[in-house]
Amino acid sequence: MSTLETLKAREAEVVDEFEFFDEWMDRYEHIIAQGKSLPAADAAIKTDDNLIRGCQSKVWITAEKRDGLVYFTADSDAIITRGLVALLLRVCNGLEPEVLAKADFEFLTAIGLTEHLSPTRANGLQSMMKQMRLYGVAFQAVN
Amino acid sequence: MIDFAALRKEFPILDQEVHGKPLVYLDNAATTQKPQAVIDAIVHYYGRINSNVHRGVHTLSQRATDAFEATRGKLQRLVNAEFEHEIIYTTGTTGSINLVAHGFRSLLSPGDEVVVSQLEHHSNLVPWQMLAQHTGATLRYIPILADGSLDLDEAQRLINPKTKLLAFNHISNALGTVNPVVKLTEWAHAVGACVVVDGAQGLPHRPVDVQAMGVDFYAGSAHKMYGPTGTGMLYGRTEWLEKLPPYQGGGEMISTVTMAQSTYAGLPFKFEAGTPNIEAVVGWGAALDWMNAIGMDSLMAHESDLMTYGTERLTAIDGLVLFGTAPEKSAVLSFGFADLHPYDLGTLLDQQGIAVRTGQHCAQPIMDYYNIPGTVRASFAAYSSREDVDRLADGVERALRMLR
């Protein structure tokens, strides 16, 4: 089974989770819970090279390829942003580079997140997604 | 007695819900909302008056010019300038400061010093950095103390005979500190330096008397004092305005133009090239009338009550740190928590219909001083109320329960 199906299944799972909440405050509570459960990344990854531009809070992302699959390590200094990072990691960790490079992160639109976020936060999220896709492209190239 | 609760009803924008909750607007240091009188003045301007100013002999042009120039007179009275021509219309405080900084390019040389403070908004910092870079002058900074006030001992040491210019804000946008304008101005004048005051937060919250203060330049923005965006003023003492070269060239600012050269118009037009933001200046006039009807004394008493009540309610919250605790403060409560990012708090407050500013407030050197990524800033205006403060404090408590 291609990891594309894995990606789609995980996205559907997140969409189901969010549909459970009617209120945005509850959705934020859920995002915060994800942020709190994300293991803190090693301080060594918090370098300027790994810093994502375009966020009001700081976000660091790095990735490695093991057995042909891409695994991310990421962190943020703000909890809500950490929650968004955790959601992206839940969906994207362990995908094939080809799948990752083409990931459309449609689930974020499906749960209304891209529409709901403030423009600065939405820009930050776009930058994170772009960076993750770029890792997909880069790891494809080193095959 | 001014009925501040009734006055709130004059602001149509406040009567709405955000995320299903009645809006609480506490981002007044960024921009204030506009009363119906200002909105009406703009509509009336375009409905009945619109024409270019200072040009045509026709009636509309005369009416537009009268309305446009009336605001200048109101501003002269507001800041107690000696002459009306000492009020220059600009695009705002930033535009005003850039005008002065650009003019000083021909007046400074290497070895000269410019003193600014660490408490500045970037708009009263970056233009001076650019000036220093251009002229080879040295930039010196008055540091701040833990309570967010200026280190006056250090200021006195920094201001020396090489100092050609001193720039600082009347009131800090990030912390609310009210600075001792008269004292600083005296020290600067004792060494012959020019004094430039960023009054973006001063004009809306304190009486300003440029002659009593003795300052050489005082800059302000209409939109921070219930007026439209995109316009502001620069007060300049006549002798300084005459010394500065024109900032931008174009129509309105010239006396004669030939192929070989041009001669410049007198004050204030020498600094007002091009068609100005007439509608905004006219709207500003209505805003000044509106503020006058309340009176600065009533406004200060109202805001001072909110500051006392707000400080009391916020500091009762577990772990809350207030940034800026200087003895004299105005209309700003800047705060944070050691374990929380201001952005998280701001997001959850917004979800509850509460508008605050989060981040560095365009004053990065202050955040560097406290070694924090930013603060949450609640700032007050005439229409702010104790209920707004309650909503804010309750909103912060709720956010904390979610985040911790």
What is the complex's ipTM, to 2 decimals?
0.88
> Are B315 and B260 spatial neighbours (Cβ–Cβ below 8 Å)?
no
User: Residues of A near B (CB-CB distance < 8 A)?
Assistant: 24-25, 28-29, 32, 56-58, 77-81, 118, 121
- The verdict on a CB contact (< 8 Å) between B348 and A28 is yes
Note the helical H segments in B167-277.
181-190, 202-205, 210-213, 238-243
Measured CA to CA in angstroms, residue B189 lies from B116, B164, B177, B186, B216 at distances of 15, 10, 23, 5, 10
> Are B32 and B204 spatial neighbours (Cβ–Cβ below 8 Å)?
yes
Residues with Cβ < 8 Å from A8, sequence gap 6 or more?
Answer: none
Q: What distance in Å separates the CA atoms of residue A46 and residue B353, rounded to the nearest whole number?
A: 34
Q: What distance in Å separates the CA atoms of residue B116 and residue B399, rounded to the nearest whole number?
A: 37
CATH number listed for the domain at residues B39-292: 3.40.640.10
**CATH fold for the domain made of A3-141:** Sufe protein. Chain: A (3.90.1010)
**Residue among B288, B385, B332 nearest B35 (CA):** B288
Nearest chain B CA: its distance from A7 CA (Å)? 28
Characterize B129-152 residue by residue with b for buried, 16 or more Cβ atoms within 10 angstroms of its Cβ, and e for exposed: eebbeebebebbbbebeeebbbbe
Measured CA to CA in angstroms, residue B295 lies from B78, B301, B304, B371 at distances of 11, 10, 14, 39
Nearest chain A CA: its distance from B336 CA (Å)? 13
Residue B340, chain A, CB below 8 Å: the answer is: yes
- Measured torsion, CA atoms of residues B322, B324, B326, B331, in degrees rounded to the nearest 10: -90
> Are B204 and B381 spatial neighbours (Cβ–Cβ below 8 Å)?
yes
* Pair of tokens at residue B18: 């955000």
Note the helical H segments in B337-385.
342-351, 364-370
Q: Which of A25, A32, A57 is facing B343, going by the closest CB pair?
A: A57
Annotated active-site residue in B38, B362, B382, B393: B362
Report pLDDT for B155: 98
Superfamily name and number for B4-30+295-403: Aspartate Aminotransferase, domain 1 (3.90.1150.10)
Considering only CB atoms, which chain A residues are within 8 Å of B343? 56-57, 78, 80-81, 121
Report pLDDT for A53: 74
Span A64-92, mean pLDDT? Answer: 94
Considering only CB atoms, which chain A residues are within 8 Å of B341? 57, 77-79, 81
Q: Which of B358, B374, B402 is facing A32, going by the closest CB pair?
A: B402
What phi and psi values does residue B225 have, to the nearest 5 degrees?
A: -130, 50
Residue B352, chain A, CB below 8 Å: the answer is: yes
- The verdict on a CB contact (< 8 Å) between B403 and A78 is no
- Measured torsion, CA atoms of residues B60, B64, B67, B70, in degrees rounded to the nearest 10: -120
What phi and psi values does residue B235 have, to the nearest 5 degrees?
A: -85, 135
Residue B343, chain A, CB below 8 Å: the answer is: yes
Show me where the domains of chain A are located. 3-141
Q: What distance in Å separates the CA atoms of residue B108 and residue B188, rounded to the nearest whole number?
A: 16
Report pLDDT for A143: 58
Nearest chain B CA: its distance from A96 CA (Å)? 33
Q: Which of A28, A56, A57 is facing B402, going by the closest CB pair?
A: A28
* Pair of tokens at residue A39: 């293991």
Span A2-18, mean pLDDT? Answer: 93
Q: How far, rounded to the nearest angstrom, does the alpha carbon of residue B374 sit from its chain's CA centroid?
A: 20
Report pLDDT for A1: 59
Does A65 score more than 70 pLDDT?
yes
Q: What distance in Å separates the CA atoms of residue B259 and residue B281, rounded to the nearest whole number?
A: 33
The percent helix, strand, coil of chain B (3-state, each to 5) is 45, 20, 35
Residues with Cβ < 8 Å from A133, sequence gap 6 or more?
Answer: A100, A101, A102, A103
Q: CA end-to-end span of chain B, whole Å?
A: 44
DSSP per-residue letters across chain A? --HHHHHHHHHHHHHHHHHT--SHHHHHHHHHHHHHHSPPPPGGG-SGGGBPTT-SS-EEEEEEEETTEEEEEEEESSHHHHHHHHHHHHHHTTB-HHHHHT---HHHHHTTHHHHS-HHHHHHHHHHHHHHHHHHHHHHHT-
Active site residue A92: no
Considering only CB atoms, which chain B residues are within 8 Å of A24? 19, 351
**Residue among B5, B24, B31, B16 nearest B395 (CA):** B24
- The verdict on a CB contact (< 8 Å) between B341 and A79 is yes
Burial of B401 (0-12, 13-18, 19+ CB in 10 A): exposed
A62 bridge partner residues: A73
Residue B373, chain A, CB below 8 Å: the answer is: yes
Total beta-carbon pairs less than 8 A apart between chain A and chain B: 43
Nearest chain A CA: its distance from B353 CA (Å)? 11
Q: What distance in Å separates the CA atoms of residue B75 and residue B81, rounded to the nearest whole number?
A: 8
Show me where the domains of chain B are located. 4-30+295-403, 39-292
Report pLDDT for A120: 76
> Is pTM, for the whole model, over 0.90?
yes
Helix (H, G, I), strand (E, B) or coil at B22: strand
Report pLDDT for B250: 86
Annotated active-site residue in A14, A31, A38, A55: A55
> Are B145 and B195 spatial neighbours (Cβ–Cβ below 8 Å)?
no
For chain B (404 residues), the mean pLDDT of every run of 10, in chain order, is 94 96 98 98 97 89 95 98 98 98 97 97 96 98 97 98 98 97 98 98 98 98 98 98 92 84 89 95 98 97 98 98 96 96 94 94 91 95 98 98 94
Measured CA to CA in angstroms, residue A46 lies from A62, A120, B32 at distances of 9, 21, 39
- The verdict on a CB contact (< 8 Å) between B343 and A28 is no
- The verdict on a CB contact (< 8 Å) between A79 and B340 is yes
